[in-house]
Amino acid sequence: MMSSTKPVFRSGRLNDLQEMQQLFVGTIESVCSSDYNHEQIRAWTSGIENEQRWREVLMHQFVLVALIRECIVGFGSLAKGGCIDMLYVHKNFQGKGIATAILKLLEDEALRLHYVKLFSDVSITAKGFFEKAGFKVVNEQLNLRQGIGLMNFKMVKDLANR
């Protein structure tokens, strides 16, 4: 059974781009639909149109992908300074510990780089997950994408005591 297989983690590569973007859109469209309306989801997922930004993430950030049977089931990225830029898990693999495992590996890398904190702009949908992982809300934010307001939260985790 596919869901019982443990994921394998590796660094993200440029040739993962299309599969990562498909996962990004599919996850937002299904998992976030109870927290964001259709217009907000359309505006959010339009981020895949900025292919240069995605390429820069893969070239300049610490990117991990989780694979099950050669398919990407999740990915996350750590930008310079300790920003968790992206963390997405395929809609069919939610609640199986994949995001937790990716976040722990990103946190390990942050510690290796001597970062004292992690921070992220977190969706309404992901807020509870990040809180369970030790992040605290700094403030609520309203971001505009294509003229559409998207509520999220600036969250921070202190790594000094880990």
* pLDDT of 2 strictly over 70: no
Within-domain flag for 57: yes
Domain enclosing residue 41, as ranges: 2-115
* pLDDT of 68 strictly over 50: yes
pTM listed for this prediction: 0.93
Within-domain flag for 26: yes
For residue 74, give the CATH number of its domain: 3.40.630.30
Whether the Cβ atoms of residue 127 and residue 153 lie closer than 8 Å to each other: yes
Within-domain flag for 120: no
* pLDDT of 19 strictly over 80: yes
Rounded to whole angstroms, the Cα distance separating 15 from 136 reads: 35
What does DSSP say about strands 83-89 and 136-145: parallel, antiparallel, or unpaired? unpaired
Whether the Cβ atoms of residue 99 and residue 87 lie closer than 8 Å to each other: yes
Within-domain flag for 78: yes
Question: Based on the structure, what is the number of domains in the chain?
Answer: 1
Within-domain flag for 24: yes
Within-domain flag for 144: no
pLDDT in the model for residue 4: 57
Q: Give the closest residue to 76 by CA, choosing from 67, 86, 66, 68.
A: 86
Average pLDDT estimate for 99-126: 97
Within-domain flag for 141: no
Within-domain flag for 55: yes
Residue 3 pLDDT class (50, 70, 90 cuts): very low
Amino acid identity of 126?
A: A
